[in-house]
Amino acid sequence: MLVAQTDPNTQTGPNSARRADARMNAAAIVDAATRLLARDPDASLADIAREAGVGRVTLYGHFDSRATLIAAVVDAAMARAETELSDVDLDGDSVEVMRRLLGASWRLTHRHGALVQAAEKSLGSEDLHEAHLEPIARMRTLLERGRGAGRFRDDMPLTWQITTIQDILHGASRAVYRGEHTPDAAGELIETTVLAVLSPPTVE
Amino acid sequence: MLVAQTDPNTQTGPNSARRADARMNAAAIVDAATRLLARDPDASLADIAREAGVGRVTLYGHFDSRATLIAAVVDAAMARAETELSDVDLDGDSVEVMRRLLGASWRLTHRHGALVQAAEKSLGSEDLHEAHLEPIARMRTLLERGRGAGRFRDDMPLTWQITTIQDILHGASRAVYRGEHTPDAAGELIETTVLAVLSPPTVE
DNA sequence: AATAACTCGAACATGGATGTTCAATTTGGG
DNA sequence: CCCAAATTGAACATCCATGTTCGAGTTATT
């Protein structure tokens, strides 16, 4: 968790004092922010408030600052990410697992897009990096296993393979926003492309 | 050419009225801007002036605005790019040509990095896109030829292959800035990775 | 050495985004 | 039905990057 929320949203105990519309609005703001920041990490709070169908002041009523809001967005994103990624079955053939993991990662990437960059500007990037590290660690573990089993090529650095996979995911996200492919088509292409990158060379 | 220069730099005719240090400074500014914007497309003009070892006012003496400066940087970059890319021999086996073209493209990408994004924000992105389209067209032509000759797989959209290559190049650029690889090592990795992506699948 | 070109810091003006305050209004929940 | 909670636009303060102006100091060139 990145934030010690001052927002009444997450106050423990009897939240009977919390009105329904307020909770709705807070959620709508986080939602709108996620959508806008996924496309443009520089989206202004005014834009986000408008997208959420809410006055700018209301936004500040829920979140102290841009940083606070972004932290909340990141928290929500990480929570959903953890849920969806932990659903992926990590047992079995490395290639098959990679397919599944890529599918889940693609959905997350497409949903969150450039949010990482927005977070990097507003937050110290240390906490964030730690947080964002968890999904990467999952991928790293899988890669190591697949390399050991001869299912993935191991003649290039692990970090390079991870970087490349991330780049392909984010590139696909932008391509979809540009309208070049549907999300589903992009998912297929990602799978094919990444597996081509990871396949051991036929002749060495 | 993106700019109708108001800067005495590029005035034709007798530039005897142009002092040597002024020309040096203008060049140093473009140079510093290229370096900084390659890393951070939001680098401020104050940063750039400092990096160039020049006062902020001097910068404005040479370039009317941020947009003007960036246009100049892009012009210079495009000129060098054209020179270096036109040196690449496009005849022969598609795979070999791709190796050469990737090498040249990598040097350019590493040098210019995020400059494209800086340009997209400051310029209308129309002219720029036209300009930036030329190197891409070169790559596209090569891809089409290689696909026709059965040297590259053609079971994925051409636009996807182009996007992927660009993503890998830019990702490598960032990885090098992060210090994960040397530029030369990255060059090798790019070559291997891109060719893996383009290789026709062994069994279909 | 004289002069025009150039550079420089400091100070000012502007515009956009971020926060803040306030008084008036709407709305949810008991 | 009533009241506290929540929302709202408008107006204001602040910050930062962009541009501009000015006057004084340097330096290249002849």
**Calpha distance B38→B109 (Å, rounded):** 9
What pLDDT score was predicted for residue A58?
A: 98
SS (H, E, C) A145-180: HHHHCCCCCCCCCHHHHHHHHHHHHHHHHHHHHCCC
Checking if the pLDDT of B15 tops 90, the result is: no
- Using the 8-state DSSP alphabet, how is residue A73 labeled? H
**Calpha distance B130→B1 (Å, rounded):** 11
Residue pair B44/B34 in contact (Cβ under 8 Å)? The answer is no
Digit-coded pLDDT (tens) for B30-58: 999 999 999 999 999 999 999 999 999 99
What pLDDT score was predicted for residue A2?
A: 61
Average pLDDT of the segment spanning A167-181: 97
Residue nearest to nucleotide D9 (CA to C1'): A55
Tally of CA atoms within 13 A in the half-sphere of A27 that contains its CB? 6
Identify residue B190 by its one-letter amino acid code. Answer: I
Average pLDDT of the segment spanning A100-128: 91
What pLDDT score was predicted for residue A130?
A: 72
Spanning CA of B8 to C1' of C1, the rounded length in angstroms is: 28
Residue pair A48/A32 in contact (Cβ under 8 Å)? The answer is yes
Identify residue A180 by its one-letter amino acid code. Answer: E
**Calpha distance A128→A135 (Å, rounded):** 12
State the average pLDDT for chain A. Answer: 91
pTM score above 0.85: yes
| Cα dist from A110 to A41, A83, A190, B138, whole Å | 14, 16, 12, 30
In chain A, which residues touch B (CB < 8 A)?
155-157, 159-160, 163-164, 166-168, 170-172, 174-175, 180-181, 189, 192-193, 196-197, 199, 201-202
Residue pair A106/A190 in contact (Cβ under 8 Å)? The answer is yes
